[in-house]
Amino acid sequence: MNVMNDSPRRKELTRQAAQLFVQEGFDRTTVRMLAQEMGIKSGSLFHHFRDKQEILAAVIEEGTQNALVIARAALEQCDNSAEARLQAMARAHLETLLTDRNAHVVALYEWRRLDPEARNHLSHLRDAYEALWEAVIDEALAAGLIHGDRFLVARFVMGALNWTVRWYDPAGPRSPDDLAHELVAMITHRA
Partner DNA sequence: GGGTCAACCAAGCAAGCGCTAGTGTAAATG
Partner DNA sequence: CATTTACACTAGCGCTTGCTTGGTTGACCC
Stretch in the footprint of a second copy (CB under 8 A) among 47-55, 81-89, 95-103, 108-116: 108-116
Q: CB 52: neighbour CB atoms within 10 A?
A: 17
**Distance of alpha carbon 120 from alpha carbon 166, whole angstroms:** 26
Out of 7, 23, 81, 120, which residue is the one contacting DNA (CB under 7 A)? 7
Q: Which does 182 bind (CB under 5 to 8 A by kind): a second copy, DNA, none?
A: a second copy
**Distance of alpha carbon 105 from alpha carbon 93, whole angstroms:** 13
Binding status of residue 175 toward DNA by CB under 7 A: no
Give the DSSP per-residue string, 77-91: TS-SSHHHHHHHHHH
Out of 25, 43, 144, 170, which residue is the one contacting a second copy (CB under 8 A)? 25
Binding status of residue 148 toward a second copy by CB under 8 A: yes
Residue 64 φ then ψ, to 5°: -70, -40
Distance of CA 25 to the CA centre of its chain: 17
Distance of CA 97 to the CA centre of its chain: 6
The footprint of DNA (CB under 7 A) covers 1-3, 7, 9, 29-33, 35, 39-44, 46-48, 51-53
The residues of the shown chain that bind a second copy, judged by CB under 8 A, are: 25, 27-28, 109, 112-113, 146-149, 152-153, 155-164, 166-167, 174, 179, 182-183, 185-187, 189
